[in-house]
Structure 1
Amino acid sequence: MTQEKQETKQAIIDAFHFRHATKKFDANKTIPEDDFQFIMETAHLSPSSFGFEPWRFLVIQNEALREKIKETSWGARGKIMDCSHFVIVLARTKKDTRYDSAYLQDHLKNVLQFPEEAADGLLQMVENFQKEDFAILEDEDRMADWASKQTYIALGNMMTAAAQIGIDSCPIEGFPMKEMNDLLREEGLLDDESFSISVMAAFGYRANDPAPKKRRPFDDVVKWVE
C-alpha cells in the first residue's frame, strides 16, 4: 500500500470520527460559499437507481422561511436558526418516477442523451422492475419510499464531504410530513406535485464538543460470507 493511499484512507476515517449529529451550532460562524458549493456538488454527483436523480435540494437561507420551518418541524428547533446552511431534500413523486412519466422521457433523451431505441429498452426494464421485481408501481407509499431511499445516498455523501473539510452537520427527520409538504406547497416549492419532502439537514460549526463516538463491535455488524 502506498503512503499516499494510506494517508487518504486515514483522512476519510478521521472524517467519520469527526462527524456527529450536531445538536447545537455556533450562530456566529458561516460556511464559506465555495465550501458549501463543494458539499452540494457531492449531492449533485451522487448515484441513483437507473441514474434517474429523483431529488431536488432546497438550500433555505431565507430567515422568515426558516422561522416557519422551525415552528412546523420539532426536529429543526434548536438548529435551524443557528446553523450556517439548511437543506431540505425533496424526493420526486410517482408522477415523475413512474416508468412512462414525462420526466423520465426527458431525462433519458435530454440529460443522459440516450438514443431512442436505448431509452425505450431501459424504460421497458424499469417497467418490469417497478411492476415485478420490486412490485412498487401500484403502491403510492412504496414508490415514494423508493425515491426517498435514494435521497439518503446523497445525504450521506453531503455529510461525509462536509466532515472531510471540518464542517458539521445534522440529519433531521423530526417533522410531520403532511404539514411540511403543505408549508412547502404554500411557498411554491413543490413544483406541481412533482416533489415531496424526504429529509432535512443542517450544516455549520459545532458550538460544543461531542461525546466520544460509540458503535457496536465491528464483528457484530460486519459478517464475511465465503
Structure 2
Amino acid sequence: MPPTPATDPNTLVEALQWRYATKAFDAARTIPAALWSSLEQSLVLSPSSYGLQPWKFLVIEDPALRSELRPFSWNQAQITDASHLVVFLAKRTIDGADLDRLIEATSTIREQPIEQLAFYRSMMQKDLLDGPRSALIDQWSTNQLYIALGTFMTAAALLGIDTCPIEGFSPPDYDRLLGLDSSPYRSAVVCVAGYRSADDKYASLAKIRYTAAELIEHR
C-alpha cells in the first residue's frame, strides 16, 4: 500500500519556495539527531540508474577537519558554520563486482534465485561495461550523485532545514585530506545543512524562476 502522504501539495510548494542556497548559517544551531537520521535515510533511499548506487556519502563531523577543508572550498563560511557537512562521493569505475553486488543483494532481499536475475545483470553489463557508456562511466556516476543531492535538499526543505549545494571546492585537495586518493571513490559535490542565520541577506530575496509556461511544455 502507498504511504500516507506526508504533506499536502501546498506545503510542498511552500517548502520549495522557502528553500534557497543558504549563504550564512547560524553556527550555534545543530540539527537534532532524529531529523538528521531522517536526512541520512533520504540519501540511502535515493534512486539511481539500475539501482546500482555508485556512491558513498561522507558526513564530516570533526570540526578540525572541516576547518582544513574550508581553504579548499573557496573559503566559504558554510563549510565550518553549518550544522552538517556532507561530501558526495562518486565511484570512479564500475566493474563486474559492482553488478554482482547488486544482483546478490536483490536475490537476498527479494528472496529471488540469482538465476532469475541473469538477464538483468547481462543488461547492465552490455550497457555500463561493454557499451559506449563505459567510456563515460565516471560522468555517469557523477550524474547519479546529483539525483541523491536533489533528494537530500528536497527532504531537508520539507523538514524546515536549510541547505547549500557547493561545487566551489577543489576535489583533488578534498580527496587528499579525506584519504581518498587510493579509494574507489572520489569527491564530486558537497552539501551543507543547518539553519540560516538571521543576518543572511539572501534569505529575504525573491526567488528568480522562469514561469511554468516558459519551462514546461505539454504535448
Counterpart amino acid of 1:81?
A: T
Correspondence for 1:197 = 187
How big is the shift at 1:201? Answer: 0.4
Q: How does 1:1-226 map to 2 (within 5 A)?
A: 8-74=8-74, 77-94=76-93, 97-98=94-95, 100=96, 102-110=97-105, 112-113=107-108, 115-130=113-128, 131-132=130-131, 135-137=132-134, 139=135, 142-185=136-179, 190=180, 192-207=182-197, 208=200, 209-225=203-219
- Alpha-carbon spacing, 1:178–1:191, altered in 2? closer, same or farther (3 Å): closer
- Alpha-carbon spacing, 1:72–1:27, altered in 2? closer, same or farther (3 Å): same
Farther off after superposition, 108-117 or 77-86: 108-117
How big is the shift at 1:191? Answer: 8.8
CA distance in 2, matches of 1:118, 1:149: 29
Give secondary structure in 2 for the equivalent of 1:80: helix
TM-score (norm 2): 0.87
Q: Percent identity?
A: 34
How big is the shift at 1:20? Answer: 0.3
TM-score (norm 1): 0.85
Counterpart amino acid of 1:18?
A: W
- Alpha-carbon spacing, 1:105–1:13, altered in 2? closer, same or farther (3 Å): same
CA contact 1:66–1:80 (8 Å) conserved in 2: yes
CA contact 1:109–1:119 (8 Å) conserved in 2: no
Counterpart amino acid of 2:209?
A: R
Farther off after superposition, 106-115 or 166-175: 106-115
Counterpart amino acid of 2:120?
A: L
How big is the shift at 1:45? Answer: 0.6
RMSD of the TM alignment (CA)?
Answer: 1.9
How big is the shift at 1:149? Answer: 0.8
Aligned length: 207
CA contact 2:99–2:124 (8 Å) conserved in 1: no
How big is the shift at 1:198? Answer: 1.6
CA distance in 1, matches of 2:107, 2:25: 39
Counterpart amino acid of 2:124?
A: V
CA distance in 1, matches of 2:176, 2:107: 32
How big is the shift at 1:107? Answer: 2.7
Counterpart amino acid of 2:88?
A: V
